Amino acid sequence: VLGFGLVYLILAAVMEFLKRNEIFISDIIIAVSLLTLSVPLKFLPYHTTIIWFIELPFLLLVGFIFERRIYRYLAFTLSLLLFFKFIIYDYNLSGKLLIFNFKVSWHAFISLVGFISTATCFGLHRFFESKKEVSYFDKLAKRIYSGFSVIYITMYIFDVVRPLWLTLGLSLESLLIFAAGALLLDKYIRWYALVVLALAGMRFCF
């Protein structure tokens, strides 16, 4: 599968050189799909999720550097796949990961990596949005990436914070998210902060 992916990647490069745009798009979709799907054939499920989260911002960066929407579409599709994979499968993983003599659950570690990955994607959209005009899809993707990053960091807090301090942890998270939204002049991030604050309020009441 990896070999076929590399072959299609070479074919896509040839089509790009020959200015055959339609064939390039089909070849690059097949190449990225095969290269991405080759990962779970070699690695364990939670390792696969980590690798895909690392792949995500690089795929988006390539799309911005070469000004090719297809890479950004593929990155967005991968982010959706990762989100549903995390919710349905990865969040229920058992086992611990040893990092600098600290034991961390796999789903907590994956939540943190997911936050870093999607926050990086949001940052890339912000950076390139300031450089040039972007499409409606890019603006929508930026909002969804920021929403994903809030979800991942919230799940991380649920994992690592003791129940006694969870309401306080969610409240502080809401405050930090709201500050980030105010600093970045992003109303959607401020809305996400209110959602997290409402979640903290519900937990306090019940």
CA 11 – CA 34 distance, rounded (Å): 14
pTM given for the model: 0.90
Mean pLDDT of 28-39: 93
Cα four-point dihedral sign 26, 32, 38, 44: negative
∠ CA 56-28-1, rounded to 5°: 80
Predicted confidence (pLDDT) per residue in 144-192, tens digit: 999 999 999 999 999 899 999 999 999 999 999 999 999 999 999 999 9
CA 96 – CA 111 distance, rounded (Å): 14
Cα four-point dihedral sign 75, 136, 188, 61: positive
The tokens describing 195, both together, are: 């959602």
> Does pLDDT of 62 surpass 90?
yes
SS3 at position 105: strand
Q: At what angle do helices 69-88 and 45-65 cross, to 10 degrees?
A: 160
> Does pLDDT of 58 surpass 90?
yes
CA 127 – CA 101 distance, rounded (Å): 37
Give residue 100's pLDDT: 64
Give the number of other Cβ atoms within 10 Å of residue 67's Cβ. Answer: 10
Predicted confidence (pLDDT) per residue in 67-97, tens digit: 889 999 999 999 999 999 998 888 777 777 7
CA 123 – CA 143 distance, rounded (Å): 11
CA 200 – CA 16 distance, rounded (Å): 51
CA 4 – CA 134 distance, rounded (Å): 33
Predicted confidence (pLDDT) per residue in 89-144, tens digit: 887 777 777 666 677 888 889 999 999 999 999 999 999 987 777 788 999 999 99
Lowest mean pLDDT among 23-37, 44-58, 101-115, 143-157: 101-115
